[in-house]
């Protein structure tokens, strides 16, 4: 027998034994989700779910709901020129409309509260415990605007001990981020949690029309949360939040001009009009004659009550939310009033939602 064969077989056997021993020392961590309106193991639910923990989001540097598309399969972002036209799609199913009255077909929720308008879904991920993305129609449990799926953001609860966290991040191209969280008990039965974060991105696109720079943005979010346990079978959770996103970024630099979209004279005329802007992948110049800006303010209050009645649990989630968008966009992206109109004006939305849910014991029927 070839001695080299014996050595190779022995080495392979040792590596295999080492791998078995290492595997025996590891235990799979159970992932709990609420995709079916009750807490259950991810392996036991009959829904296609992607669950991301706070650790997962931190390791991937995911700081906003828009960035979830980098981690979640089949989740895509349909980005419009203003917050009202930006929405999620799952497995190719989504809604994109110019109307501010249209509800999205992929529902975004925060702690069980539906964000009724597309622009409300896009926010900084503030003090998040986990994110669950449900793929496919979810209308039975999550309502009419969940035909494409659900993006559910669950935030952290108050802690039993006093804790605090501060984070500061500096990124190239003059981008800065910061966050603050404080949590702890007020009494034996009452706890609190306060969180805030912000982001500032400097202008980096040069407007050749007036010499100013565009495409900077500022965002900030705050949330306060109280948890009261007056009895062993009764829980109250109150939350208030507010966020604001403002930018001068409603016009994108021109990357290319389709030569098949018009004749050579038309293409030459456009290039001459936007000069000295040169379309290209690295272009950071525009030539527009109107001020571009967008400001979106999102705020709300919610009260969740959980009451254990024997083996059943009665849950009530009440919420009041407001969403306001103001902005202006130079729709022709050129230094003249080519189309004779601009976009996109102002809109304000107020919504009240109420959910009552009776949860039966697992594996049993109502009786």
Residues 312-334: tens digit of each pLDDT = 999 999 999 999 988 877 666 67
CA dist 67 and 265 (Å) reads 41
Order of all β-strands in the sheet with 285-286: 213-214, 205-207, 285-286
Asked if residue 119 has pLDDT above 70, the reply is yes
Contact 81, 330 (CB under 8 A): no
Percent of the chain with pLDDT over 90: 44
Domain 32-251+288-359 class in CATH: mainly beta
CA dist 130 and 153 (Å) reads 6
Mean pLDDT of the chain, nearest integer: 83
* pLDDT bracket for residue 260 (50, 70, 90): low
At residue 342, the pLDDT reads 58
* pLDDT bracket for residue 3 (50, 70, 90): very low
SS3 229: strand
Contact 107, 146 (CB under 8 A): yes
Higher pLDDT, 248 or 237: 237
Lowest-confidence region among 55-69, 118-132, 192-206, 254-268: 254-268
> Given CA atoms 75, 225, 355, 97 in this order, what sign does their dihedral have?
negative
Query: Is residue 57 within a helix (H) or strand (E), and if so which, with residue range?
Result: helix 54-59
Lowest-confidence region among 17-21, 169-173, 199-203, 257-261: 17-21
Domain residue ranges in the chain: 32-251+288-359
Mean pLDDT, rounded, for 339-362: 82
Asked if residue 265 has pLDDT above 70, the reply is no
> 229-232 contacts: CB < 8 A, separation 24 or more?
229/189, 229/190, 230/189, 232/308
Higher pLDDT, 288 or 146: 146
* pLDDT bracket for residue 170 (50, 70, 90): very high
Instruction: List, for residues 11-42, the tens digit of each pLDDT value.
Output: 444 334 444 334 444 456 788 888 888 888 88
Percent of the chain with pLDDT over 70: 81
Mean pLDDT, rounded, for 168-179: 90
Mean pLDDT, rounded, for 282-292: 78
């Amino acid at each position: 027998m070839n001695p080299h064969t014996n050595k190779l077989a022995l080495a392979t056997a040792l590596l295999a034994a080492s791998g078995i021993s290492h595997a025996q020392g590891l235990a799979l961590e159970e992932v709990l989700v609420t995709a079916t309106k009750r807490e259950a193991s991810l392996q036991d639910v009959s829904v296609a779910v992607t669950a991301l923990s706070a650790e997962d989001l931190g390791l991937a540097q995911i700081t906003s709901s828009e960035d979830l598309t980098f981690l979640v399969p089949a989740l895509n972002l349909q980005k419009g020129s203003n917050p009202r036209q930006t929405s999620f799609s799952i497995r190719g199913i989504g809604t994109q409309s110019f109307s501010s009255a249209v509800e999205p077909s992929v529902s975004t929720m925060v702690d069980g509260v539906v964000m009724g308008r597309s622009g409300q879904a896009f926010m900084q991920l503030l003090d998040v415990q986990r994110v669950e993305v449900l793929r496919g129609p979810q209308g039975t449990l999550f309502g009419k605007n969940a035909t494409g799926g659900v993006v559910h953001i669950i935030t952290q609860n108050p802690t039993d001990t006093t804790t605090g966290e501060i984070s500061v991040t500096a990124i190239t191209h003059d981008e800065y981020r910061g966050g603050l969280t404080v949590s702890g008990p007020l009494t034996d039965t009452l706890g609190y949690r306060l969180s805030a974060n912000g982001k500032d991105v400097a202008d980096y696109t040069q407007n050749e029309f007036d010499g100013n720079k565009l495409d900077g943005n500022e965002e900030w979010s705050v949330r306060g949360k109280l948890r009261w346990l007056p009895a062993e079978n009764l829980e109250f959770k109150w939350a208030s939040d507010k966020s604001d996103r403002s930018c001068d970024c409603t016009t994108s630099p021109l990357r290319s001009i389709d030569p098949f979209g018009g004749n050579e004279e038309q293409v030459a005329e456009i290039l001459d009009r936007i000069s000295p802007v040169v379309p290209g992948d690295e272009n950071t110049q525009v030539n527009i004659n109107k001020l571009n800006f967008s400001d979106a303010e999102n705020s709300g209050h919610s009260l969740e009550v959980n009451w254990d009645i024997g083996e059943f649990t009665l849950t009530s989630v009440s919420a009041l939310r407001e969403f306001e968008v103001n902005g202006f966009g130079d729709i022709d992206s050129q230094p003249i009033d080519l189309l004779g109109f601009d976009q996109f004006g102002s809109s304000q939305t107020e919504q009240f939602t109420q959910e009552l849910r009776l949860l039966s014991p697992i594996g049993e029927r109502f009786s």
